[in-house]
Structure 1
């Protein structure tokens, strides 16, 4: 379990979520920060601390704080030198998942996604979890006298509710379901599976035809989802499953359901024809920007990727 830190309350909230998840799953926790050398870099006017010193100190401070709350958790720290998106992708390649913080602007306006987080999600070939800060937070002093926020208790690191899995019956479905069921089983929770399809404009004409079409599509979707989940019921008999086939905007359905979920799991397709221009997808964009719950983005697996693929080369993302 790896968490990327940059000293913001959002990244510290991600550290709290990652520590709780690592404790539940009996995994070690690695806190990393990335520092990129800049010519003529200097300390800010309010402090004599250099950026490199601050980057090294951040993981150590968070580790000391988390060690008090999770005394049995193995915590390590690491400073990486280089462009943050590239360094985070390297860290993710060696981790079960990478956890990052995102700036929350409220349920209506959603996330203000940082460029580093978006680039990391788009390029890495490992699961990335985006966490927004909770409403309850405490501060702890740092060596420079500043106050940094951390959730006040273990309860503030997690949300109540089922794990929400968004599927499209495409190539990302197995990875999404695997991650969702593992998360639900680790927390003795439930899984809610949403399969929604937005019909093209003018697919049917007339109110009566539209109603019949929606009923037929809903029934067909329900049958397909139920059949798809059969093996998962056998593999995870202790996990309760709720199926929700929907007709309409997938992003809207997912954001609405995320309000009562503990975690949202969505897939990301890699572009085989344009490997140097990875995309997140419009549905994933909507969920990442508006979900009040943490969002796990699961990339499509590719057998041609090396075990430690970082997603970058000297000119950009590596070809698959």
Structure 2
């Protein structure tokens, strides 16, 4: 049985945007889509059965609204849904164990909405064993595509680039493969982006001072990036690959590169201490500032 694309549903605008994106992605991957609504995550032992029934009714109505939204926009998707009891972080993480990927709605700088507030969202993104994609409210199918010749939004044009943020000191196959596969499914270009900064005098050893502002350093990084991606070019011969090496802060460079992307892909190292969820400064900046859908891919 194929693992589904799973999307968290809470009835918010962000959630509905995530649902629609997840439906399109499920069709691209030829996977079923499962809507998951986590309810009763603050359940009190004193709650009456009537209160529980009311919560189930609200959950059912929320799921039905999401289903109607999908049927109108992505009618070909294979769809199931379920209500699960929380707490929300645990419920979504448990669901993710069975998933191809998990999709959530995001508000960026304003935090996460609905059931995904504060530490819940942080825990899901930082702890999930499978890739998590964050989608902003207002994300439309047209946003994934280049505009038409007259500048108007269109779904008939090609997909914008899939941008892959690469740390050449910690490059991981899982992250690179996810990005190449996303580009292949979209018939889009894959743009690998690496940001580097010259070493400071403090970080250099006694004999290294001549390396500061070395004009050849950028070219060396570019050659390194090209070598790293060569094997993936061979695995995905139909995917056009662009390599970008930019001097600057990684978070700033990636946010800028993602401004014209259909998807940004970044990595997250699996924590050796799962009770202390961390996503790293670059991924943190992407979560808060990137406007396009963001895929956070865990790796060893």
CA contact (8 A) 1:3 1:99 kept: yes
**Residues 52 and 37 (structure 1 numbering): CA distance in 2 closer, same or farther, change over 3 Å?**
farther
- 1:1-320 alignment, distance < 5 Å: 1-35=5-39, 36-39=41-44, 50-104=54-108, 110=109, 112-113=111-112, 114-115=117-118, 116-134=120-138, 154-155=141-142, 158-160=144-146, 161-202=160-201, 203=203, 212-213=213-214, 215-272=215-272, 274-301=273-300
> Once the 2 structures are TM-superposed, how far is the Cα of residue 66 of structure 1 from its aligned partner?
1.0
Can you give the 5+ residue segments of structure 1 that lack an aligned partner in the other structure?
43-48, 105-109, 136-150, 302-320
**Residues 266 and 224 (structure 1 numbering): CA distance in 2 closer, same or farther, change over 3 Å?**
same
2:193 aligned counterpart, secondary structure? strand
Aligned length: 270
Cα deviations across residues 89-133 of structure 1 (Å, max 9, x unaligned)?
1111101100000015xxxxx453442222101111100000001
Cα deviations across residues 126-154 of structure 1 (Å, max 9, x unaligned)?
0000000127xxxxxxxxxxxxxxx5xx4
Whole-angstrom distance in 2 between the partners of 1:89 and 1:199: 39
1:178 aligned counterpart, secondary structure? helix
Whole-angstrom distance in 1 between the partners of 2:283 and 2:87: 24
Whole-angstrom distance in 2 between the partners of 1:126 and 1:253: 26
Whole-angstrom distance in 2 between the partners of 1:184 and 1:195: 18
2:276 aligned counterpart, secondary structure? coil
Greater shift in the superposed pair: 64-73 or 90-99: 64-73
CA contact (8 A) 1:172 1:299 kept: no
> Once the 2 structures are TM-superposed, how far is the Cα of residue 199 of structure 1 from its aligned partner?
4.1
> Once the 2 structures are TM-superposed, how far is the Cα of residue 41 of structure 1 from its aligned partner?
5.8
Greater shift in the superposed pair: 28-37 or 59-68: 59-68
> Once the 2 structures are TM-superposed, how far is the Cα of residue 61 of structure 1 from its aligned partner?
2.1
CA contact (8 A) 1:172 1:300 kept: no
Query: What's the Cα RMSD here?
Result: 2.6
Whole-angstrom distance in 2 between the partners of 1:75 and 1:2: 10
**Residues 66 and 271 (structure 1 numbering): CA distance in 2 closer, same or farther, change over 3 Å?**
closer
Which residue of the partner structure matches residue 157 of structure 2?
A: none
Whole-angstrom distance in 2 between the partners of 1:190 and 1:119: 32
